[in-house]
Amino acid sequence: MKNFPENFLWGAAMSAPQTEGQSLNFGKTATTWDYWFQIAPEKFHQNQGPAITSGVYDHYLADCQRMQEIGLNSLRTSISWARLLPDGKTVNQAAVDFYRQYFSAMLDHGVEPIINLFHFDMPMWLMEQGGWENRASIEAFAFYAQTAFELFGDLIKKWTTFNEPLVHVECGYLYQYHYPAVVDFQRAIQVGYHTLLAHKAAVKVFKAAEQAGEIGIILNISPTYSKSEAQADLSSAFHSDLLNTRSFLDPAVLGTIPDELITLLRENQLLPEVEAGDHELIKENLVDFIGLNYYQPRRVQAPEEARMPAQMPSDFYAAYDWPDKKINPYRGWEIYPEALYDVAIMMKEAYNNIPWYVSENGMGVAEEERFMKDSGEIEDDYRIEFMKEHLNYLHKGILEGSNCFGYHAWTFVDCWSWLNGYRNRYGFYRLDLKTLERSVKKSGRWIKAVSENNGF
């Protein structure tokens, strides 16, 4: 039996834009996803847009009961900025009523809500002003955060500011998977910098209000593994960690932007515009805990030809295809559970052993109906095996002293995945896209036993 620490959080993670539905109803205004689907539906898998997703807005009471039925004692989701503040200033009472009822229902069923403020869903009213490229976004986000803290702080004791901020930076400004789908390294750096300052401004608001509870941020951490011990490969791995891990983790926990990152950006003419007071804002507003999302490792090698100044991250490091990898063919991602141990030790040794939890870990598989038994249950043994392998390595890190307090799988119920729609399924509950009916998968019954035993 592998036992986990007392009061360990066993749960799942999801987000407002991927599950709520009612995307332009009950007072909510458009986000970049609503707009992009309107003007370019062909980009979305099977024309599956953000309007309905998993229908949680209409099914949340029964869903909270379902959370309890599979043993979840916690769940992370997000608030929709465009629902709570449709114009950025005016509170939407319908949203307040919905979220208060939703969070209260979780608590009534023994599920602790961890509430995130931004999950890639930029309101269009702000995007039309430049989005995160506009420094005004910092104050706008701080006002939204303060509004959420005041309205729901009596119910929520664990807040996070952003989910995977690097993703909206990369996907929106380097790789064209999110709107505005531009390719511009300089603009990406500026967007990342303003996002960091928005996070810090929200933490400042939270601390100033002397809120009961804690505040953190959720980062996607894929440890970097070098192809070889050759100096060029090691240098590329170092640069990868600077850009992909330390760029947000160091400021969030330590209050510093790595000197080596500043030097790297300066040498490549990529430094963002900075104003007086930014340094103090970054230094003083530290998080209470960290959520780390982990799916796959990052393997790199030295690029064959690097441009100077750099035009893309690939000028600093190139992807390395490890020949011995185990792969999830549906998502195209390597399965490497050993990295979760490396993450645990990194948090212990490099980040003051700050409290942290696995805020996402999961396996997306296409056409899961292939694995449906006569009873109608999806027999997703592959997902159970995936979680077991990762939990084994997480457990090892905890035994060695890493301060991990929970494990959240992605996700509770099959959800909408941006341009991928419902191509891959991740949930403990299967979603029937025609009826929105939920049915528990084998993994849902398995996580119930894990939660009840606080181990496996």
Active-site residue list: 164, 360
Are β-strands 424-425 and 429-431 bridged in parallel, bridged antiparallel, or unpaired? unpaired
Alpha helices in 270-429 (DSSP H): 278-284, 338-350, 381-399
Cβ neighbours of 327 (radius 10 Å): 13
Q: Strand runs (DSSP E) across 178-288, as ranges?
A: 214-220, 224-226
Residues 146, 209: contact at Cβ < 8 Å? yes
Reading across the β-sheet that carries 298-301, which strands appear in turn?
Answer: 224-226, 298-301, 318-319
Distances (CA, A) of 445 to 128, 186, 268, 374, 449: 45, 47, 52, 17, 7
Residues 145, 101: contact at Cβ < 8 Å? no
Sign of CA dihedral 65, 160, 18, 430: negative
Return the C-alpha torsion angle 369, 372, 376, 378, nearest 10: -90
Residues 322, 310: contact at Cβ < 8 Å? no
Q: Work out the burial of residue 42: count CB atoms within 10 Å of its CB; fewer than 13 is exposed, 13-18 middle, 19 or more buried.
A: exposed
Q: How far apart are CA 243 and CA 349, in angstroms?
A: 20
Sign of CA dihedral 307, 308, 312, 316: positive
Separation of CA 138 from chain center: 20
